Amino acid sequence: MKKLDLVVPCFNEEDSIPLFYEEIKKVRNELRININIYFINDGSSDRSLEIMKDLSFKNEWVNYLSFSRNFGKEAAMLAGLEASTGDYVTIMDVDLQDPPSLLGEMVRLIEEEGYDVVGTRRVTRKGEPPIRSFFARMFYRIINKMSKVEMVDGARDYRLMTRQVVNSILTLKEYNRYSKGLFSFVGFKTKWLEFENVERVAGETKWSFWKLFLYAIDGIVAFSTAPLVISAMIGLLFCLIAFVLIIVIIVKTLAFGDPTSGWPSLVCIIFMVSGVQLLTLGVIGEYLSKMYMEVKKRPIYIVKETNLEKYDD
């Protein structure tokens, strides 16, 4: 029987974990496929770890891996993919926003129709603040213009992948991980399933607007160098404007003499040009800071405890 591993990042999810487990148990009995859960405890400060350990103790198909602190969902996903051994692997939120009822269809598409990846996307953003939806749409429009790697609007991390796809993702060793981009970078034959947005069963979202904004910038920096080109373009444009202005002023002075005026406009120009310079420096700095973290080669996560033998030293 084929083995399907569910990678489940959890950060302070004590209320959701038992509900998630019950749902998966149901699907597991219905589907008759060897489903295994890999809970990744991303430095929770509540009882999440205790609950996972307890479940893993009682069921040999439930595993846990616990970080030494909060490393973020990207790190948790990577740890899960590295720990998994199944023929198929999927990443799932523990809050049941990724409907387990789709698993059967996802496996069928891979086994019978020859897809390598079955991704899911939300077609509605019901229950989300409208301003957040607006910025999300803007983000996808911008990043798809800037980057060669296509990012699908509404795509979730919930996706079923074959072992071959997982191994390809694991060859991407970068420190600044932006999974949506990495998934689409590796390619493979992908089928998209669509579903209506489901609200969390328990707890609250860990993503503030500010965190999402920073994540969006990470995505752009990780998958596009367009901001650098745009900076250079603005620089070029300003040089051209300055050149034209110089000629205008010389001609004007020769023709009409040189009355001393224009101090306010000069101040405005200085402000604007130095603003653009700082902005450009900021853009370069953003890339430089990513490189800085990248060359340090720090581990992406640190495991504190797990039931998986792979980590025994």
Residues found near Mg ion in the complex (CB under 5 A) = 93, 95, 97
**Which residues lie closer than 8 Å to 119 by C-beta, 6 or more apart?**
152, 155, 156, 158, 159, 183, 190, 191, 192, 193
d(CA 91, CA 236): 45
Summarize as ranges the residues that interact with ligand UDP (CB under 6 A): 9-11, 13, 42, 70, 72-73, 76, 93-95, 97, 205-207
Please, which residues bridge with residue 5 across strands? Answer: 36, 89
- Tell me how far, at minimum, the Cβ of 211 lies from ligand UDP, in Å: 9
Beta bridge partners of 191: 118
- What span, in angstroms and rounded, lies between the C-alpha atoms of 194 and 17? 25
Which CB, 32 or 298, lies closer to ligand UDP?
298
Task: Name which of 97 and 120 has its Cβ closer to ligand UDP.
Answer: 97
Q: Which among ligand UDP, Mg ion, none contacts residue 42 (Cβ within 5 to 8 A by kind)?
A: ligand UDP
Locus of tokens 């350990």:
53
Residue 9 contact among ligand UDP, Mg ion, none, beta carbon within 5 to 8 Å by kind: ligand UDP
Q: Which does 116 bind (CB under 5 to 8 A by kind): ligand UDP, Mg ion, none?
A: none
Shortest distance (Å) from residue 205 CB to Mg ion = 6
Residue with smaller CB distance to Mg ion, 201 or 234:
201
Q: Which does 70 bind (CB under 5 to 8 A by kind): Mg ion, ligand UDP, none?
A: ligand UDP
Which lies closer to Mg ion via its Cβ, residue 122 or residue 191?
122
Pick 74 or 93: Cβ nearer Mg ion:
93
Extract the tokens encoding 295.
Answer: 């060359």
Q: How far is the CB of 232 from ligand UDP (least distance, A)?
A: 35
CB 154 within 8 A of CB 141: no
Q: How far is the CB of 141 from Mg ion (least distance, A)?
A: 23
From the list ligand UDP, Mg ion, none, pick the one residue 72 interacts with, judged by a Cβ distance below 5 to 8 Å according to partner type: ligand UDP
Q: Which amino acid is at 168?
A: S
Taking a C-beta distance cutoff of 8 angstroms, is the pair 152, 181 a contact?
A: no
Q: What is the Cα–Cα distance from 81 to 78, expressed in whole angstroms? A: 5
Of these partners, ligand UDP, Mg ion, none, which one is at the site of residue 28 (CB under 5 to 8 Å by kind)? none
User: End-to-end CA distance of the chain, in Å?
Assistant: 30
In the complex with ligand UDP, the residue whose CB is nearer, 121 or 206, is: 206
Closest to 41 in 3D by CA, of 32, 31, 51 = 51
Least Å distance between CB 159 and Mg ion?
Answer: 15
Beta pairing partners, 41:
10, 66
